[in-house]
Structure 1
Amino acid sequence: MPETPRKSAGTATRLMLAGAAVLVLLGIGAFWLAARRTAAPPAADEIVVTVNDATCEPATLEVPAGRRTFRIHNASDRPLEWEILDGVMVVAERENIAPGLNATLSQRLAPGTYEITCGLLSNPRGTLTVVATAESEARQAAPETREFIGPLSEYRVYLGRRSGQVLTATAALSERIAAGDVEGAKAAWTAARVPWREIAPVSARWSDLTNGMDPQADYLAKREEDPGFTGFHRIEYGLWSQGTTEGLQPAADKLLADAATLKERLGALDLAPADLAGNAAAFAQRVADQATGSQTPYSHTELAEFSADLDGIAKSALLVDPLVAAASPATSEALHKALGNARSVLDGFMVEGAWPSYDTIDTAGREKIAQAFAAVAGAAGAYNAAIGLE
């Protein structure tokens, strides 16, 4: 029996849609290959590090002290982050480096021996040796100014209050999980995340706490099934993706203990003047790296977190703004402009006063957020040089 016109039209439509889907996939593939092939060659002063599934190449580096630029090439098949670590402290990092692509990182390095991460959190770390120079020795001898006592004291109070809020909210989260209250646990989890992100310019520098409280499944060998998948995102996965509190109590108890450790560390933290703007700039770049991906992949609450990030970045950097404004008005103006633009970009996504789910934000929107935070990172990164701290 011959096919009816309606069936023929339906078949043709399905074939057209299938063909269009194939073309889209081919286009994405072509774009990815083009990105791999057309990446600009490294500059003469860039230090190239290739990260594969198991290690860094080279895994042992030696560089002179001072500002150094690294080009990180991801030769693995998963997104990765690359960090320079001083013990448990993160000196510098780049996140969300896509497979086959590169990211650059510039950091002023003091003499010493550091570790570098090489792909998955479980991979062996490499070694970075920074050799002293005449310039670095002179910088170490430079005295600190009394003008920073007030800003540093104010920031310590801020960190103490916010870390107390994290501890209170994680305690409530543990209680709600123990009670089997999914909705109550979600509310407590969300309440904990805001102050956690506000103090991230500092807390994110402790790699051991970050890897215990905030590890992403993508950076673990077995993803959600990995024993190292704990902390906020393990709980987030259980509450939002699985819809249950079952099995979450050990993660909640550990998170609460880690929150107490965080508060203790912040209370004893010895901040340097350069940390105020420096940590803000480093964290703003981290957020820029995260914005194109998914920071809370199960609850999709990224926009609320980016808003808290911006508040924390502004609090840290602007404590030295009066000094910067007196020394270099243009530098101060640039950061205020970047912060205002980032706030405008984020607020532009609100729907009736509420943050929409991040999975509704398209690639262009995410890139706009990333660019806004990158601009904040660049502007805040100029603060220390303007007041003689770099």
Structure 2
Amino acid sequence: MPEAAVGTAADTGPAAPPPRPARRRTLLLGGGALVVAAAVVAAVLATGGSDGRHAARPSDGLRHTSVEITSAACGRGWTHPAAGKQVFDLHNDSGVAAEVYLTDPASGAVYGEVEGLAPGTARPLRVTLGNGSYAFKCVSDDADAVTGPTVRVTGGTAKGGPAAVPVTQQDLIPPTLAYQKWIGARTVELAEKTDTLRAAIDRGDLAAARKDWLTAHLVYERMGAAYGTFGDADSAINGTTAGLTGGVHDKDFAGFHRVEYGLWHGESASGLRGPAARLAKAVHELRDGWPDQRMDPADVGLRAHEILENTVQFELTGRTDYGSGTNLATARANLDGTAELLGRLRPLLKTRDVGLSGIDTWMTRAGRTLDEFDHDGHWTPLDRLTRAQREKVDADLGELVERLADVAALTDVRRTA
């Protein structure tokens, strides 16, 4: 039977996904024991005087202590320490922005933080303190870090929240180099699988090409932590129709999804040879140029969270499906990529209270959930899931994303001097 022509101009494909989320620090430590201060500047704070005594309790019912944040008086005002859940109202009375950490002065471990405390503003830091020694560290722009006086909390019965020693750039270099080497091997594998896909299209075997497309595409999807280093190659290899006025028929629509659209919308082999050749060319250029690339160690921990965050946003919504119905296969590949990156970071994570055992449990659970939809290489499309199945996938991946946010926060490089 002759192969049908590609879809009409009315076909626009799936809705274009929004840009990937920007880098940001979400929280410091999980478990609800400590949280980063709210990003919104507090308009009115119930605080005491400069001696640290507090006025009538505010509406939250918690103990509030006013603390000064300047290079000359970092932490001044905390003179009546107590254990338990409480709020420090941090006031930046200097002329420059500052980051503020509540630390263990002996180890440097951080219990809580406030980012970007602007001059003349105040923000709350909610904490739960147990018995122990604490000190505020004030890190102002263009100035050395200053650690305030040590304050000792005694006689309390509350269990304090966890703390984590900040990760340095040097700490992240070994896992980054190891992961970069792993990516190098994957670029070789990707080139081989993409060549197989192109060969199937060249000989007109589109049934084989559909199988080879998925095999090659999943190799690429396992490499998610390196996308930022790929630069323009990412769009050439795995771009969508986002920003293209012509949608799936735009001349600049290229890469795996362009080939996917043609393979699952009746495009002829002759029509697909050009897109397949361009895809192969982009993949080979990535492979050949990878040895000269350098990943930013500061991004590695963030990617451990962002890979699956993007999976929930793009794959589980079907926004990157151009006909193959393989979003769940992509989600599984993304999970594999996350596991690979976590393995590289594990030596750092296991010495910090990040709930690693819980993350491992949810990684395993999410993998089992997704594997239920793999039927000898034929994956259940999203629109064929029952409501119960869909809710389980969303819940398992969503919970895992929340837990991985701690990894991103704890591996975010913080200035300590």
Query: TM-score with structure 2 length normalisation?
Result: 0.57
- Give the residue type in structure 1 aligned to 2:213: W
Decide whether aligned partners of structure 1 residues 233 and 353 sit closer, same or farther in structure 2, where only a CA change above 3 A counts: closer
* Structure-2 residue corresponding to 1:254: 278
**267 and 365 in structure 1: CA distance in 2 versus 1, 3 angstrom threshold:** farther
Is 1:200 aligned with 2:224?
yes
Aligned residue number for residue 309 of structure 2: 285
Correspondence 1:356-367 to 2 at 5 A: 356-362=380-386, 365-367=389-391
Residue of structure 2 equivalent to 1:383: 407
Give the drift of 1:187.
Answer: 2.6
Equivalents in 2 of 1:298, 1:139: separation in Å? 55
Does residue 236 in structure 1 map to residue 173 in structure 2?
no
Q: What is residue 210 of structure 2 aligned with on the other side?
A: 186
- In 2, the alpha carbon distance for the partners of 1:207 and 1:279 equals 15
Could you list the per-position Cα deviations for residues 15-53 of structure 1 after superposition, in whole angstroms to 9, with x for gaps in the alignment? Answer: xxxxxxxxxxxxxxxxxxxxxxxxxxxxxxxxxxxxxxx
Please give the alpha-carbon distance, in whole angstroms, between the structure 2 residues aligned to 1:175 and 1:276.
35
Pairwise CA distance, 1:294? 4.1
8 Å CA contact 2:329–2:379 kept in 1: the answer is yes
Q: Which has the higher helix share?
A: 1
The equivalent residue for 1:223 is 247
- Structure 1 residues 163-172 or 333-342, which shifts more? 333-342
Aligned equivalents of 2:199, 2:377: Cα separation in 1: 30
Change (3 A) 1:338 1:277: farther
Of 320, 332, 340, 1:315 maps to 340
Distance 2:144 2:289 in 1: 27
| Inter-CA distance 249–353: structure 2 relative to 1 (3 Å threshold) | closer
The secondary structure found in structure 1 opposite 2:350 is helix
**1:277/1:381 contact within 8 Å kept:** no
| Structure-1 separation of matches of 2:277 and 2:298 | 35
Question: 1 or 2 for the larger relative contact order (CA 8 Å, sep ≥6)?
Answer: 2
Q: Is the 8 A contact 1:274 1:384 kept in 2?
A: no
Note the C-alpha offset of 1:300.
0.8
Aligned to 1:96: none
Contact 1:276 1:319 in 2 (8 A): no
Shift of 1:232: 0.9
Task: Report the AA paired with residue 82 of structure 1.
Answer: P
Specify the alignment match of 1:171 in structure 2.
195
Query: Letter of the aligned partner of 1:377 in structure 2?
Result: V
Structure 2 distance, partners of 1:159, 1:255, is: 18
Query: How many angstroms does 1:252 deviate by?
Result: 1.2
Q: Which amino acid aligns with 1:383?
A: V
Shift in Å, 1:139 = 10
Counterpart CA distance in 1 for 2:144 and 2:332 is: 36
Distance in 2 of aligned mates of 1:269 and 1:374? 32
CA change 1:320–1:295 in 2 (3 A) is: same
Q: Which residue of 1 aligns with 2:45?
A: none
Instruction: Give the deviation of 1:362 after TM superposition.
Output: 4.3
Question: Hey, what's the Cα distance between the residues in 2 that align with 1:325 and 1:266?
Answer: 30
Say if 1:201 and 1:279, in contact at 8 Å, map to a contact too: yes
Q: Distance in 2 between matches of 1:348 and 1:193?
A: 20
Partner of 2:18: 81
Question: How far apart, CA to CA, are the structure 1 residues paired with 2:289 and 2:117?
Answer: 29
- CA shift for structure 1 position 188: 2.2
Tell me, in whole angstroms, the C-alpha distance in 2 between the residues paired with 1:205 and 1:138. 31
Q: CA deviation at 1:138?
A: 7.1
Give the whole-Å Cα distance in 1 for the aligned partners of 2:375 and 2:400: 24
Aligned match of 1:28: none
Total equivalences in the alignment: 273
Provide the rounded CA distance (Å) in 1 between the counterparts of 2:143 and 2:333.
Answer: 38
**CA drift at 1:220:** 2.8
Q: Taking structure 1 as reference, are residues 351 and 212 closer, same or farther at Cα in structure 2, changes over 3 Å only?
A: closer
Q: Aligned letter for 1:378?
A: E
- Residue of structure 1 equivalent to 2:329: 304
Equivalent position SS for 2:355: helix
Rate the CA distance shift 1:253–1:363 in 2: closer, same or farther, 3 A: farther
- Taking only the aligned residue pairs, the percentage that are identical comes to 23
- Opposite residue 318 of structure 2, the aligned amino acid is G
* Deviation, structure 1 residue 306: 1.3
Pair member with larger Rg: 2
The match for 1:268 is 292
| Cα drift, residue 298 of structure 1 | 0.8
Compute the displacement of 1:158 (Å): 1.2
Residue by residue over 1:313-357, the C-alpha shift from the partner in whole angstroms, topping out at 9 and shown as x without a partner, is 1111231122211121x5212321331221122123344785323
Amino acid in structure 1 at the alignment position of 2:343: L
Alignment partner of 2:362: what SS? Answer: helix
Does structure 1 retain, via aligned residues, the 8 Å contact 2:304–2:404?
yes
1:174–1:347 distance in 2 versus 1, CA, 3 Å: closer
Listed as ranges, the matches of 1:3-82 within 5 Å are: 80-82=17-19
Provide closer, same or farther for how the CA distance between residues 176 and 319 of structure 1 changes in structure 2, counting only shifts above 3 A.
same
CA 1:305–1:131 in 2, change beyond 3 Å: closer, same or farther? same
Shift of 1:235: 1.0
- Find the aligned partners of 1:376 and 1:327 in 2 and give their Cα distance: 18
For the pair 1:333 / 2:364, whether they are aligned, the reply is no
